[in-house]
Chains A and B, each alone.
Chain A
């Protein structure tokens, strides 16, 4: 049963990634696009964790943690750049 559920959740997260791509392409303003990218990296963490579960290995955990950290830093950096025109003043 677990394999079927993992496949269903894969499909759900893939669909939400597609919706995020739509917002990333259409999004009328720059903060909309940053928000779409921010959501996309969180969803990709979900995909990696699900892939690790379906393969039955915990190897991919470190990749997920790295994406979580770098995604947060990049979101804050881009917002800072929009706010001040510079990242580290």
Chain B
């Protein structure tokens, strides 16, 4: 039973990480490309680390909760690094595609 749960969590995590990277390649401009890695990949990593947590809790002695550390750290730091990358992209005046609305609201105060 636990093997099934671990396998399903691993497959979900792997497909989310893959979808994040496909988004990184396929999206048309930088501001859209930022969505894939910062959302899908972080969720996929959380799923993978939950699978690892269940795996090591069943195979080794005692409960193994230290994988939550990485999971929590990634969930905390992904928005911060995304914010820093957005700031540097705005500073470099990268173009977004034509259909993007609200371009006039962007201001560079770096």
A80→B20 contact, CB < 8 A: no
Smallest distance from the beta carbon of B70 to chain A beta carbons, Å? 5
B48→A50 contact, CB < 8 A: yes
Q: Mark A43-65, 1 if CB is under 8 A from B, else 0.
A: 10110011011001010010011
B17→A43 contact, CB < 8 A: yes
B87→A8 contact, CB < 8 A: no
Task: State the CA gap A43–B17 with chains docked (Å).
Answer: 7
Smallest distance from the beta carbon of A10 to chain B beta carbons, Å? 8
Using C-beta atoms within 8 Å of the partner chain, give the interface range for chain A. Answer: 35 or more
Using C-beta atoms within 8 Å of the partner chain, give the interface range for chain B. Answer: 35 or more
A16→B11 contact, CB < 8 A: no
| CB of B60 closer than 8 Å to a CB of A | yes
Task: State the CA gap A6–B14 with chains docked (Å).
Answer: 10
| CB of A86 closer than 8 Å to a CB of B | no
A1→B3 contact, CB < 8 A: yes
Q: Would you mind naming 12 contact pairs between A and B with Cβ atoms under 8 Å apart?
A: A9-B14, A16-B20, A19-B22, A23-B33, A29-B89, A35-B34, A42-B42, A43-B41, A45-B45, A46-B17, A53-B55, A84-B110
